[in-house]
Structure 1
Amino acid sequence: MSLKNEIAGAIRAIRTIRDVDYGELADVIAKSSIGNLEQGRHSITLEKLIELSNSLQFDPVALLALCVSIQNDEPADATIERAKAQLALFRAEGGEELFRSQFVGNELKKRPPGKPRNSKNAAAVRELKASGMSQAEIAHTLGLAKSTVHRYWQ
């Protein structure tokens, strides 16, 4: 999903409403880059978009909501309401707590290298192992690769 054109339109509109010229944003982004961005010729990193949004004194979440609303051809309020519903569901599923547990202060916790474990599959393998099933039987029952079952078996 590319939002280049939507971001271009949003930056143009916000900059016009706020009466901000390119020079006032030069500490965040080069003047030529702003021009290219507003023409939809350049992409922007999320970090740079947040910096630019803050320089325009416009909430970055609201800016993204505007862009997504244009892409989905819906009012920005509908985009925000859908996002609020997703956040509420995520919170109800324990996602917000899990998300916050990924940090120590503002630093992302280190995790072991390699592919993260699927805790549901790991629990299922342990449960079936305890019931006396072999690794091959578990792999067939759960539809997992034998190597995956072996890894969770350990």
Structure 2
Amino acid sequence: MSLKKEIAGAIRAIRTIRGVDYGDLADVIAKSSIGNLEQGRHSITLEKLIELSNSLEFDTVALLTLCVAIQNGEPTDTTLKRARAQLDSFRAEGGEELFRSQFVGKDLKKRSPGKPGNTKNAEAVRELKASGLSQAEAAEKLGLARSTVHRYWQV
């Protein structure tokens, strides 16, 4: 999902409403870069977008909400309601707690090397194994690759 055009329009509108010219943003982004950004010719990193939002005194989440709403052709309230519902669901599933546990202060915890396992799939495979299904049957029932089922089967 590229938001290049939407970000261009949002930055242009916010900058205009705030009465900010290119020179006022020179400490964050070069004048030529802001011009190219506002024309939709360049993308922007998330870090730079946050800096630019701060310089424009406009919340980054609000800026992204505007962009996603335009891209989806919907009012910003609809975009925010959907995001709120997803956040509520994520929290109810323990996702927010799990997310916060990934940090020590503001530093990301190191994780063991390799691809992290999917605990839900692993548990589903173990349940099907206990119920007497074969690995092939478990793979078909869960829609997983046989190699994935085999890996979970061995644990």
TM-score by length of 2: 0.87
Report the counterpart of residue 65 of structure 2 in structure 1: 65
Cα deviation for residue 102 of structure 1 reads 1.4
Name the amino acid aligned to 1:81: K
Between the aligned partners of 1:37 and 1:25, the Cα distance in structure 2 is 13
Between the aligned partners of 2:136 and 2:103, the Cα distance in structure 1 is 34
Greater shift in the superposed pair: 84-93 or 9-18: 84-93
Cα deviation for residue 87 of structure 1 reads 1.0
Percent identity, please.
77
Cα deviation for residue 114 of structure 1 reads 1.9
Cα deviation for residue 7 of structure 1 reads 0.6
Between the aligned partners of 1:151 and 1:142, the Cα distance in structure 2 is 11
Between the aligned partners of 1:121 and 1:7, the Cα distance in structure 2 is 38
Residue ranges of structure 2 left out of the alignment (5+ in a row): none
Report the counterpart of residue 114 of structure 2 in structure 1: 114
Gap change, CA 1:105 and 1:73, over 3 Å in 2: same
Alignment of 1:85-124 (within 5 A): 85-124=85-124
RMSD: 1.9
Alignment of 1:78-89 (within 5 A): 78-89=78-89
Between the aligned partners of 1:23 and 1:109, the Cα distance in structure 2 is 39
Name the amino acid aligned to 1:141: A
Report the counterpart of residue 147 of structure 1 in structure 2: 147
CA contact (8 A) 1:139 1:145 kept: no
Residue ranges of structure 1 left out of the alignment (5+ in a row): none
